[in-house]
Structure 1
Amino acid sequence: MSVSVRIPTILRTYTGGESEVAAEGDTLAAVLDDLDARYAGIKGRILDEAGQLRRFVNVYVGNDDVRFLDELQTATPDGVQVSVIPAVAGG
């Protein structure tokens, strides 16, 4: 399944400056694997050493936060937009 992935500014060094790229996969895990095959190292900025989403990275499939769905096993239907969004903290 082909999806589009929105890339935050901080990770665009991996995608040659592109803000949106294409990837293949029927789950978020498969999409991240494909993304890493195309843009080496990017998955390591999204997932931690245990292979889970980093604490300060939010990922949406469509309009839904994957942490409230099936996390890395969240389905990624053909044509859906995946958004990687760094969490913002402040006070």
Structure 2
Amino acid sequence: MARLVFTQQLRRFTEAPEIDTPAPTLRAGLEDAFARNARLRGYILDEQGHLRKNVAVFIDGRRIRDHVSLDDPLAPGSLVHVLQALSGG
């Protein structure tokens, strides 16, 4: 199973559990997390269901490039980090 980890920045706003999921894609894995906490969806996805600009996702240490389809494959044992990208100075 893949493991989704939500960083401390997101946990400030809502419960963001670490979850293990058998999901084959990133989107399906995120849907598993949203099923556990519906409020989390609004912090991760915009109104069109795309990854928000201020959210970064890494699968096994590599940043995803497609913020629209989120169809990146998850392998058994994949580690997914979901975090808010920081900006400003």
Q: TM-score range by the shorter chain?
A: 0.7 to 0.9
Shift of 1:71: 5.3
1:17-60 deviations in Å (ceiling 9; x for gaps): x5x33233100010011111122221221111011110010001
Q: Which runs of 5+ in 1 are unaligned?
A: none
Q: Once superposed, what is the RMSD of the aligned Cα atoms?
A: 2.1
Q: How does 1:40-55 map to 2 (within 5 A)?
A: 40-55=38-53
CA distance in 2, matches of 1:69, 1:57: 9
CA distance in 1, matches of 2:80, 2:29: 9
The match for 1:72 is: 70
Which secondary structure does the structure 1 equivalent of 2:34 belong to? helix
CA distance in 1, matches of 2:27, 2:54: 18
- Tell me which moved more, 42-51 or 72-81: 42-51
Which secondary structure does the structure 2 equivalent of 1:67 belong to? coil
The match for 1:8 is: 7
CA distance in 1, matches of 2:47, 2:41: 11
Q: Which runs of 5+ in 2 are unaligned?
A: none
2:77 pairs with 1:90: no
Which secondary structure does the structure 1 equivalent of 2:75 belong to? coil
Aligned residues: 87
**Cα distance change on mapping 1:69 and 1:90 into 2, 3 Å:** closer
User: Percent identity among equivalent residues?
Assistant: 34
